[in-house]
Amino acid sequence: MQRWRRIGLMALCSWWFSSELAARPAVPPDAQAVAAETDAGAASLLQLEQTAAAGPITHLPIWSAVTPPAIEPGVQHLLAEVEQAFADLEADPPPTWDGLMVPLERLEQRLDHVLGVVSHLLSVKYSDELKAAQDAVRPDYVRLVNRMDQSRAIYDAMSALRGGDAFARLNVAQQRVLKESIRAMQRAGVHLDEDAKGRYLEIQQRLAELSDDFTANLVKQEEASRIRVQDPARVAGVPQPVLELAAKTAQKDGAQGASAAAGPWHFVVNGPNYLAVLQQGQDRSLREAFYRAYRGRGTAPEFDNRPIVVETLKLRQELAALLDFPHFAHLSLENKMAPSVKAVWELFAELESAARPVAEREHAELRRFMREQGAAEAEDPQPWDVAFWTERLQEARYGYDEERLREYFQMPKVFDGLFALVERLYGLQVRRAAAAVPVWDESVRFFEVLKGQDEDAEIIAGLYVDPYARPGEKRGGAWMNTVVDRSRLLAGGGRNSSLPVALFVMNARPPAEGAVALMSLDEVRTLFHEFGHAMQHMFTDVEEGGASGLNLVEWDAVELASQFNEYWMDHKPFLRGLTAHKDSGEPLDEETLERIVASRNFMAGNATLRQLQFGKTDMRLHAEYGLPGAAAEFTPFEMEERIASATVVMPRLAGETMLPSFGHLFSGGYAAGYYSYKWAEVLAADAFAAFKEVGLNNDAEVRKVAARFRDTVLALGGSRPAEEIYRQFRGRDADTEALLIEQGLVVAAPQ
């Protein structure tokens, strides 16, 4: 759950536990039972709040200590302690920063650390026991958060601080934390009467439950999913590593003698397998089976997310109505960069008008290519044909095989190249930590970020990397989260503040035993994207925890740093440095590099329309569906179908729905905010244009622009509004021209 003043997981050592409990005098039996339960909860909480350190990097969770048996008693004890401390503060809240805001941040840090670790483990080490433990504490946690967010005494004290003479003496970050905290309490219903507050709490409780169930259904359906193949002819073209994993899965399922060469093969229906089969599998029936299974995620009878989608949308609209917003989309945009729903639709229209003619040409060219290749399906292509023939067209036009390119992108080499870019641009180095730290899986790695290049350089941040797919326990996709914020309240060892720690998670194809992990171009791009998020967290200069890193950064600006980072993949000298053949060690040849860079906008028109389909569906659902008192003229899935039919040009499956597996909307933070990807793409392209203007090979000038980018976008966090920070970097607002040129949707005017 994302809190209103911060994002992510926060760590704080606990010093409250006392062994004096054992010396208490005897009490009556009932009281003894209560005391024993209290002591058990205190011991469990102590277990959950343990932390470790790696040199100056502190407050690292001990992930293995967060076990299902410890969660319920430990969290309940934590909630009781925090509630009592909050009640004491609420009784007479002083309208001062140190007397009001500091204690509140300390309470939030304790909550965010423990509950954040539990939430993270559910996404990467799922078990029914872990989910049951979270389910048991969720209602009381949501209730406490709502009580804190709706406290009129705290709100009045904040308002008094905001309106008093002391406000001018706060630093810029503190002022913004205070202003946004007041606004967030208003959005949380601090002004509601008691009946409305009660309903608000019920809605929040239910939404949290639905979000967890949505994710759990997808994880469990993936764990149970299988596409079983016996005939070797049906797996023709499927990459060897994928066949090896499918044979191992068959062995686990009890198939004796299963092998990658002879089968049988039991494919798990997850992202890596889906892409491999759709792009490379020659058997059309296997592609169809995979397409239907993957696109049907979240619709199996025992894992059906469709009722969750409907209920979630209706509850969000009721929540918005309680807060006097016309619909949930309006509520969502109230604290984002985009000024209105109308402005979002104007961006959609501008991008679609540029992308549609390009997409239609791309579609016609693909059909023409299929006919030239003698494809029987050319006259009636189906959705499971698109990826396969698009891959063949790309090979024919640009002369490289996406799957074979993996042999040049060894994961360790790619990481080295990424870290070299950080050194070149920002004068920082990233290296594997020498000291072992607790991790949640043996494949997780921990890195240190240092200021300077010598051995004695100062460590300024830490980073966990979880790279590989783990079907059945790790949800799909890629994401970044925070583990420790930069915060003066977490400072220790003579430091002004704690060192920030980030994590990012991918679902790359695991390597064969004894082999190095190989990455596709898309996986490399994903790595750069997620590291961009991590940079904004790790490179922050803000020491107020509530505004450091990504905290308080508007949601539609959060993707700026990540999408900016991706542009370096299209710079040929840099791309070359990422490559080394797994056998020879030779980098990619010049001709292939030229073709890769030339192909960067391959099918860009259709890619844009697909993103617009997602954004338009999200925005329309949250502005129109499920409004209280309105007649249901359509289901969410019918609305999705209408938008998709009017937006995309490539073939779709009748009745196909992405909503039951659309985690961004129903178990993430993108509800009525998926447009943020396109909004931030405009910012990112415009930001990268500043580097291109000085010449990407002009190291001295590039470093000057990078220093300005770091000192503003990456360093200032949420201490100022995102549009103000961007103006400090660029000297003006961003416009769409750079993005349309970068993606080949318009031709740049001659200089």
What's the CA gap between 633 and 648, in Å, rounded? 23
724 catalytic per annotation = no
Residue pointed to by tokens 């905001």: 162
3-state helix, strand, coil in the chain (%, to 5): 60, 5, 30
Task: Give yes or no for a contact between 251 and 268, defined as CB atoms under 8 angstroms apart.
Answer: no
- Rg of the chain (C-alpha set): 26
Compute how many other C-beta atoms are within 10 angstroms of the C-beta atom of residue 207.
19
3-state secondary structure string across 212-237: HHHHHHHHHHHHHCCEEECCHHHHCC
Give dist(CA 589, CA 587) in Å, integer: 6
Which residue of the set 49, 108, 222, 530 is catalytic? 530
CB atoms within 10 A of CB 643: 20
| Cα 560 from Cα 554, distance rounded (Å) | 11
Rounded distance between C-alpha atoms, residue 390 and residue 121, angstroms: 37
Query: Could you tell me which residues come within 8 angstroms of residue 431 by beta carbon, excluding any fewer than 6 positions away?
Result: 419, 447, 448, 450
Amino acid at residue number 494:
G
Strand order across the beta sheet in which 479-484 lies: 428-432, 445-451, 458-468, 501-508, 479-484
Residue 366: which H helix or E strand, with range?
A: helix 341-372
Give φ, ψ of 530 to 5 degrees. Answer: -65, -35
Cis, peptide link before residue 264, omega less than 30° from 0 = yes
Eight-state DSSP code of residue 452: S
C-beta of residue 549 within 8 angstroms of C-beta of residue 537: yes
- Dihedral sign (CA 366, 368, 373, 376): positive
Which residues sit opposite 482 in a β-bridge? 502
Cβ contact 232:263 at 8 Å: yes
- CA dist., res. 31 & res. 222, Å (int): 47
DSSP 488: G
Neighbours of 495 (CB within 10 A): 13
Question: Residues 480, 534: contact at Cβ < 8 Å?
Answer: yes
Among residues 89, 90, 91, 95, which one has the least CA distance to residue 170? Answer: 95
Q: Are 723 and 735 in contact (CB under 8 A)?
A: no
Instruction: Write out the two tokens for 216.
Output: 């759990």
Show which residues are catalytic: 530
